[in-house]
Structures are given as structure tokens and as C-alpha cells.
Amino acid sequence: MLSALFWICVGLLVYTQVGYPVLLALLARVRRGTGGPAPSADAPDPLPSVSLIVAAHAEGEVIAAKVANALALDYPRELLEVIVACDGSPDATAHRAREAGADLVLELPRGGKIRAQDRAVERAGGTVVAFSDANALWEPGALRALVAAFADPRVAYVCGQVRFVNAAGTNQEGLYWRYEMALRALESRLTSITAGNGAIYATRREDYLVVDPIMGHDLSFPFNLVKRGRRAVYAPAARATEKMVPTIEGEFARKRRMMSHTWPIVLRGGLLSPRGYPPLYALMILSHRLLRYAAPFLHVAALALTLALLGRGWVYAVALGLQLAVLLAALAAPLLGLRVLLVARYYVLTVASVALGLADWLRHGTKAYWPAAEGTR
């Protein structure tokens, strides 16, 4: 029995990180998929009106550059509305946004990013509402690439490709994010993505969902729209850049905070319920979301089972050696700074952040607002 449990834990961990991408690639080769090809980068004619919304709290340092970047997009000015929703900003964010040329600046009481976005959507005049972070800069053609996905009437949500930039520091988020974007492209090709990102995404105004303020759009929008018979897709031609957290430890803190917002979506926000999921999408949610969130518990179980099975075969001694090697590599990374050790440290801390985010939510609850991640402005 212990041996079977050990192999189940190991098998699930390997499947989540390696087997699932291979399965998606095979499915993409043998079938066209229910969703068809990836969204075109060619914008529809006529172009829809768009309200580009930036929720901002204490973003005085970067908001002018963000508004200038939005106004410089390759999109007809008469069809583009730039809205800055200031979420109780204690600094000059609102003043600088107006000076930079934002069409509408809302000065709202502190309520969190989601509620600021809700208020902005209420005031938006566009048939499409697009969203971005204050520190994310879009390439000139990004908005056209985003709205091109809406040529398919089934599409209700589209997210673009964000690249994390930071030449200095130890963070390995860029490596992980390239892996994540590859998965997202395959999911989008087959049916729908299982999560988006806050740097660059859009939805039809009629499809916009008002969610619990502690439950961000990135995870809650895609699966909820799929449950409503719609599609959530990835448009890799819609590109943005965002400054990366410089250190692995800073990234760990960011992910821990993110997971304290993720677990409420999983456990009481509807993601866990299969009702409304097409079969393939249900498999994607299980593989890409639920098993990934189960990873810290699977790792702990695998280690405990390995220790219990020592002496019953060489394979368990090798398994223990590999697990200890990863942990030692993670501990040694700050001292030696080698890339392979940094990747091990990033993996260990990222997995730990999932469990600690759950503990934070269960013990203290989750606030609807949070400070900007260290070093990202």
C-alpha cells in the first residue's frame, strides 16, 4: 500500500509538470480542437471602441508613462478611451494621470483593485474593456491583436503575452513564464485557457463579471466564462513587458500573496466544481490548476513515504537522494549563485508559497488590496 501511494504521488507530480504539456502537444497534433486555430493578429474591420482601464494605488512614479504608452498604441484615438481608476491613492497618481492625458480619472476610496475595475467598467464607454497594470507597457500593436480575438463571437475573454524584464537579480520567473505561455498557447488552440494575467487582457463589456473583491480576474474570469458557454483565449501577438521582482525571495512573497487570493476561488469560488465544464476543459482544470495547487502536499507525502519505504529497494534510496539534492540546492543557491541552484530554489519556494498562501487565507483571511511587489516599479 505504501509503495502504491508513493508511486501515485510521484506520478502525479511528474504528470503535472511534464506529462500534461506532452499530452496537450499530442492532442494539438491529432485534432483541430473545439476552439480551432489560435486567434488572428489581424484586427477586425470595423474596429470596436475600447476602454483601456488601469487600476492604480500609489502609482505616481509610473502612471504618466503608462498613460503615454496607452495613448501611443496603434489604435484610432476616437475609438480608444483611457481610464485610470485611482484606488484610494495617497500620492499624486490622479494628478499625474490627468496631466498625461487620461480621458477619465476616477478618485475612489480604497477598496482594492477589483472594485476599482468594477467602478471603471460602470463608467466605460467602449464595447470592449481592456485592462492593464500601471507598470506594464504594451507594444504598439498589442491592442489590435487583443481585439482581433473578438472576431470569433464565442470569445468572451482574451489575454496577451507578458514578458518579464529585469537584467539584474536572482529571480527565475522568466523561465517559468515561458513554460506557462507555451501551455497557454496549447490550451487556447484546443479549447480555452485556464488562467490569464493582469498585465494585458480584455473582455467584451457585456461579458464582464463582477466577482468577489478578493478573487482576481486572472483566475476567476476564464473558467467562469467557459461555464457560461463562452471561450477564453490567448493572443500571443498582444505583447506587453513588466518589470520582474528582482529576487527569488521577493517572488516567493508575491506568489504567497497571490495564492491567498487563489485558494478562495478554488474552494468556494466555483473552480473546483466541474458543473459547466466541457470534458477536455475539465481535464485542463484538473491538470493545470488543481494538481499544481496540490503539489506541495504531494511533495510532502512523497518525502514521508520515501522515508517509510527506505530499505525496501534501491529505488527509494535514489528517490530520497534526489529529493534531498533539490532541497540542498535550494539552500545553497544564495551562497553560490549558480543558475541550476537558483532554479531549484525558485521551484522549492514557489511550491511552498502555494501551501503558505492557503495557511494565510485560513488563518487571517485575505484583504481585497495589497502593496506593489518589491522592485517592480
The 10s digit of each residue's pLDDT in 66-104 is: 999 999 999 999 999 999 999 999 999 999 999 999 999
pTM over 0.75: yes
In a domain, 95, yes or no: yes
pLDDT of residue 38: 53
pLDDT of residue 31: 75
In a domain, 120, yes or no: yes
Whether pLDDT at 33 is above 60: no
Using one digit for the tens of pLDDT, what is the confidence trace for 218-270?
999 999 999 999 999 999 999 999 988 999 999 999 999 999 999 999 999 99
Terminal-to-terminal C-alpha distance of the chain = 52
CA 68 to chain centre: 25
- Provide the grid cell at 199: 498585465
pLDDT of residue 166: 78
d(CA 289, CA 35): 20
User: Of 241, 103, 219, which Cα lies nearest the Cα of 162?
Assistant: 241
Residue 39 confidence class, pLDDT cut points 50, 70, 90: low
pLDDT of residue 154: 95
* Chain mean pLDDT for the chain: 93
In a domain, 33, yes or no: no
Cα dihedral: 212, 217, 218, 220 (round 10)? 50
**Quick check: 86 and 107 in contact, CB under 8 A?**
yes
Average pLDDT value for residue range 318-342? 95
Residue 110 confidence class, pLDDT cut points 50, 70, 90: very high
Residue 43 confidence class, pLDDT cut points 50, 70, 90: low
Q: What is the CATH number of the domain that holds 138?
A: 3.90.550.10
In a domain, 137, yes or no: yes
Whether pLDDT at 373 is above 80: no
In a domain, 337, yes or no: no
d(CA 241, CA 376): 11
**Quick check: 266 and 294 in contact, CB under 8 A?**
no
pLDDT of residue 32: 67
**Quick check: 377 and 363 in contact, CB under 8 A?**
no
Average pLDDT value for residue range 275-283? 96
In a domain, 34, yes or no: no
In a domain, 102, yes or no: yes
In eight-state DSSP terms, residue 229 is T
Residue type, 204: R
Average pLDDT value for residue range 196-222? 96
User: Residue 98: which domain range?
Assistant: 50-246
Q: SS3 sequence, 2-66?
A: HHHHHHHHHHHHHHHHHHHHHHHHHHHHHCCCCCCCCCCCCCCCCCCCEEEEEEECCCCCCHHHH
Whether pLDDT at 40 is above 90: no
**Quick check: 151 and 44 in contact, CB under 8 A?**
yes
Residue 196 main-chain phi, psi, to 5 deg:
-115, -155
Using one digit for the tens of pLDDT, what is the confidence trace for 331-369?
999 999 899 999 999 999 999 999 999 999 999 999 888
DSSP, collapsed to helix, strand or coil, labels residue 94 as helix
pLDDT of residue 316: 95
Residue 30 confidence class, pLDDT cut points 50, 70, 90: confident
> Where do runs of H (alpha helix) occur along the chain?
2-14, 20-30, 63-71, 93-100, 113-123, 142-148, 173-190, 217-227, 248-268, 279-284, 291-293, 295-309, 314-336, 339-364
Give how many domains the chain has, as a whole number.
Answer: 1
In a domain, 186, yes or no: yes
Whether pLDDT at 44 is above 80: no
